[in-house]
Amino acid sequence: MGKNNIQENIRKLAEYQGIDVLGFADASEFKDYLLENSNRRDPKLSLSDAKTIIIVGVYIGGLVLPSWTKSNFGRTSRLFLSGFFNDVIMQIEPISTLLKNEGYTALICDDSKSGGSIIPLKLAAIRAGIGWQGKHSLLISRQYGTFLALGG
């Protein structure tokens, strides 16, 4: 299957899985990654023949946050409260399966497993054109602002 066909099939599958944003990024080293000795800096250390990073985002802005009227309680991020990170992992598993069925090698970036994510998802999203990094270090997209749970 050609590159355009596989990308179109991935787009259709992502839409079916409820993924709101999908991007493709080159799998070259993240030279701007602050931790110079980290394996996350270079995707090829985790997958030597990596050519493309598929990055997805799920909108979490519709989550109703709990009332924070008591100031003596700490506040937690919308991403953590939503539980969406693990949901994003489940939503991209069919994409991984599709790629493997087509003869590609695929790894899911899963922080819940030992070793954590194999790439910096925010930097991959920026490289894929999903958004940019704000002064507060969050990813900002034109359509969803800072309310995206990322997966790759």
User: Would you say residue 65 lies in a domain?
Assistant: no
Residue 68 included in any domain: no
Please indicate, yes or no, if residue 89 is contained in any of the structural domains: yes
Token pair recorded at residue 63: 């989550």
In a domain, 94, yes or no: yes
Exposed (0-12), middle (13-18) or buried (19+): which is 100, by Cβ within 10 Å?
A: exposed
Beta bridge partners, 150, equal 57
Q: pLDDT digit of tens for each residue in the chain (152 aa)?
A: 566 799 999 999 999 999 999 999 999 998 888 777 777 888 888 888 889 999 999 988 776 666 656 655 556 666 666 655 566 788 899 999 999 999 999 988 876 665 556 788 999 999 999 999 999 888 999 999 988 888 88
Residue 127 lies in a domain: yes
Burial of 61 (0-12, 13-18, 19+ CB in 10 A): exposed
Residue 90: closest CA among 11, 145, 17, 10: 17
Total count of domains within the chain: 1
What is the residue range of 136's domain? 3-59+75-151
Task: For residues 21 and 15, give the distance between their C-alpha atoms in angstroms, rounded to a whole number.
Answer: 9
Cα–Cα distance, 108 to 117 (Å, whole number): 8
Rounded Cα gap, residues 13 and 21, in angstroms: 12
pLDDT of residue 66: 61
Domain presence at residue 20: yes
Structure confidence at residue 54 (pLDDT) = 95
> Which pLDDT score is estimated for 38?
78
Domain assignment of residue 67, yes or no? no
Query: Domain for residue 86, yes or no?
Result: yes
pLDDT of residue 32: 80
**What pLDDT shows up at residue 139?**
93
pTM reported for the whole predicted model: 0.82
